[in-house]
Amino acid sequence: MNPSIRIRTLAAALCVAAVASACSILPEREVIHTWQPPETATVRAVSTGDFSLRVDAPQAAGMLGQNGIVVMPSPGQVSVYKGARWSESPALLVRNRLVDAFMAAKLASVTTDDDRFASDYTLSGNLRAFQSEYRSGSPVVVVRYDAQLRRGGSRQVLASRSFVVTRKPAGTQVPDVVAAFGAADDELAQQVVTWTLGAARRARPATIPEDAGSR
């Protein structure tokens, strides 16, 4: 065989071997599963409201502003479940569940900060926790929402309250934790709807009798 041909053949074989070796050591692409907290209950509205409400997405900082499913394996340590994420940010998950709950309560109108419509009242707040915390070796889902009710178009806070809901998953696997988040989200929505209806009712000015001016 011609020496030059032998050299080219050997070089080509070395290149193929090098590429095959490189491919074998590349890490496999991680499979990411996207989750949506299930709705586990229908809101039981004790009363309805004849006012319109705009529900804003709560403010969320740090890892709560992303789509990872946050877990605290030990106090002060914050991480996310590997290979899993939410379909939307926790703030949007909470807002959208609240919207569903207020619509089930049959308000006159329910909109969001995406719509920018005028409303009688605005519900906003901060999402302080939406995570799984390990306590005594077992996960506990914790959701904390600091709510503020304002009159539509005003910055004055009419009422405020902090809601904290916890749920213990049936197991330690991601599907168990996601199911617990769904139950916690539903319970939060139930509490917020009941509180908002009462706060809006108390914030309304008293009706002035028609003949009050003639006295």
Domain assignment present for residue 182? The answer is yes
Number of H helices, E strands in the chain: 3, 8
Residue 9: pLDDT band by 50, 70, 90 thresholds?
low
Q: Residue 159: which domain range?
A: 50-203
Domain assignment present for residue 41? The answer is no
Give the C-alpha separation, 103 to 85, whole Å. 27
Average pLDDT of the residues in 140-167: 96
Tell me the DSSP string of 180-209. Answer: HHHHHHHHHHHHHHHHHHHHHHHHSPPPPP
Residue 50: pLDDT band by 50, 70, 90 thresholds?
confident
Question: Does residue 14 register a pLDDT over 50?
Answer: no
Domain assignment present for residue 134? The answer is yes
Domain assignment present for residue 29? The answer is no
Q: Please give the tally of structural domains in the chain.
A: 1
Domain assignment present for residue 130? The answer is yes
Domain assignment present for residue 209? The answer is no
Report pLDDT for 40: 76
Question: Does residue 210 register a pLDDT over 70?
Answer: no
Domain assignment present for residue 150? The answer is yes
Domain assignment present for residue 17? The answer is no
- For 20, which DSSP code? H
Give the C-alpha separation, 26 to 157, whole Å. 55
Report pLDDT for 39: 86
Name the H helices within the chain: 3-25, 90-104, 174-203
Q: Give the CATH number of the domain where residue 182 resides.
A: 3.40.50.10610
